[in-house]
Amino acid sequence: MASNGNGSAALTRRRPSIDIVDAKVAVDLATAQTYSENVFLFVPNLIGYTRVILAALSLHYMSYHPKYCTVLYCISCLLDAVDGHAARALGQASKFGAVLDMVTDRCTTSCLLCYLTSAYPEWALAFQFLITLDFSSHYMHMNSSLITGSRSHKQVDGDVSRLLQRYYDPRTLFVVCAGNELFYISLYLMKWVHTPLSESFGITGDGFVAYLVSFTWPELIAYVTGPICALKNIVNLVQLWKASKVLVGVDLAERAKAREEQLLKKH
């Protein structure tokens, strides 16, 4: 029975000072919130809404205007870094903002990948896998973070995963996410840009230089950012596995606690 006690104690350690809020109470609080502290109007969340609008406009232009599409998409992605800084600087971090941020990222990237499935039908299965992995990994991770009492899905203890802890460092996160998005954008632009650098900029050379300028600039970006995209998806796999283990661990601890309570009732 010692293991049962340890399981419930571990669950308590992982979930400090969490108050369960009734859904109806939460809805009433959100409805009655004042203008001075309206979470919907927090600056980071306003930035989040702007990201959604820019992403929607980008998707509108995706099939026929690559310049507008790329500019709007990139601005939307760059604002992803701004809202986090705004939340910390203004003391306006919120669970709603964290989920809004994550959902916007997932939906925006998935829409681009959906377009790539039609642009590269021979790679459709691979893009579908990437969409599935991205959504499942972050959904599982968000749920495991909330259920263990973490204030943000970006706060990962080193004893849970050193890789994820380093990945969610703001600087690392920005580089990896930016590289991942640039890879997908470059694949998109490769369908529109066909002129090699040698013709675009009149560059000539021998050997390795001649080899480089034989590519278009989106192709070069794809080669540079491809390894970053691979790293991002390896992290997604690790995140999915770790989140699954956390959720299973919570299940085991709760089952142990339930058995312990049943034994106490019998005695």
User: Among all residues, which ones are annotated catalytic?
Assistant: 105
Alpha carbons within 13 A on the beta-carbon side of 229: 20
Measuring CA to CA, how many Å separate 166 from each of 148, 180, 200, 203, 225?
Answer: 20, 17, 40, 40, 19
Grouping H, G, I as helix, E, B as strand and the rest as coil, residue 45 is helix
Q: Please name which of 108, 171, 143 lies closest in space to residue 248, comparing C-alpha atoms.
A: 143
Distance CA 79, CA 73 (A): 10
Provide the token pair at 224: 């540079």
- Euclidean distance between CA atoms 195 and 200, whole angstroms: 6
Q: Which of 74, 83, 75 is nearest to 188 (CA)?
A: 74
Contact of 47 with 82, CB cutoff 8 Å: yes
Distance, in Å, from the CA atom of 134 to the CA atom of 110, rounded to the nearest integer, reads: 8
Long-range contact pairs involving 16-19 (C-beta distance under 8 Å, separation at least 24): 16/149, 17/149, 18/149
The residue assigned the tokens 């499935």 is 117
For the record, the structure tokens of 27 come out as 């809805």
DSSP 134-151: HHHHHHHHHHHHHHTT-S
